[in-house]
Amino acid sequence: MGEFFGLLKGGNKPSLYAALINTFIAIMKGVAFTFTGNVAMFAETMHSIGDAANQYFVFIGSALSKKAPTKRFPNGFGRLLNLVLLAAVLIVGIMAYETIREGWHQMVHPMEAEGFIISVVVLSIAILLELFVLYKAGKEVLHEAGVKGGALAPLTTSFTHLNRAKPATKLVFLEDLVATSGGILALVAVLIAHYTGFLQIEGAASIAIGLMMFYVVTKIFLDNARGVIGETDEQMVNHIANLLSERPSVKDIRELEVVKEGEFLHVETLVEVDPNLTVKEADELQNRLAELILSQPSVDDVVVSLDADDGEKHWVHVSKRPESLKKPE
Q: Kindly indicate the confidence band of residue 3, based on its pLDDT and cuts at 50, 70 and 90.
A: low
Residue 328 has pLDDT above 50, yes or no: no
Burial of 51-71, coded b for 16+ CB within 10 Å and e otherwise, reads: bbbbbbbbbbbbbbbbbeeee
CA 140 to chain centre: 10
Helices (H), the chain: 2-8, 13-36, 39-64, 80-108, 116-145, 167-196, 200-229, 234-245, 279-294
Cβ count within 10 A of residue 135? 18
**pLDDT score recorded for residue 287:** 92
Q: What is the pLDDT of residues 40-92, one digit of tens each?
A: 788 788 878 878 887 888 888 888 877 877 888 777 777 777 788 787 778 77
Q: What is the pLDDT of residues 286-298, one digit of tens each?
A: 999 999 999 888 7
Q: What percent of the chain lies above the pLDDT cut of 90?
A: 15
CB-based contact 275:309 (threshold 8 Å): yes
Task: Classify residue 42 by burial, with Cβ atoms within 10 Å: 0-12, 13-18, 19+.
Answer: buried
CB-based contact 138:167 (threshold 8 Å): no
Q: Say whether 261 sits in a helix, a strand or coil.
A: strand
* Domains, the chain, with CATH or none: 1-229 (1.20.1510.10), 234-308 (3.30.70.1350)
Mean pLDDT of 164-189: 84
Residue 11 has pLDDT above 80, yes or no: no
How far is the C-alpha of 52 from the C-alpha of 8, rounded, in Å? 17
CB-based contact 214:98 (threshold 8 Å): no
Q: Using H for helix, E for strand and C for coil, what is the string for 80-131?
A: HHHHHHHHHHHHHHHHHHHHHHHHHHHHHCCCCCCCHHHHHHHHHHHHHHHH
166-175-132 Cα angle (round to 5): 90
**pLDDT score recorded for residue 24:** 92
- In 3D space, the residue among 318, 174, 164 whose CA is nearest the CA of residue 256 turns out to be 318
How far is the C-alpha of 184 from the C-alpha of 196, rounded, in Å? 18
**pLDDT score recorded for residue 40:** 76
Residue 233 has pLDDT above 70, yes or no: yes
Cβ count within 10 A of residue 200? 17
**pLDDT score recorded for residue 53:** 81
Residues in the chain: 329
Q: At 66, give phi and psi (nearest 5°).
A: -90, 5
How far is the C-alpha of 239 from the C-alpha of 208, rounded, in Å? 40
Is the dihedral angle over the CA atoms 137, 139, 144, 147 positive or is it negative?
Answer: positive
Element (H, E) at 271: strand 264-273
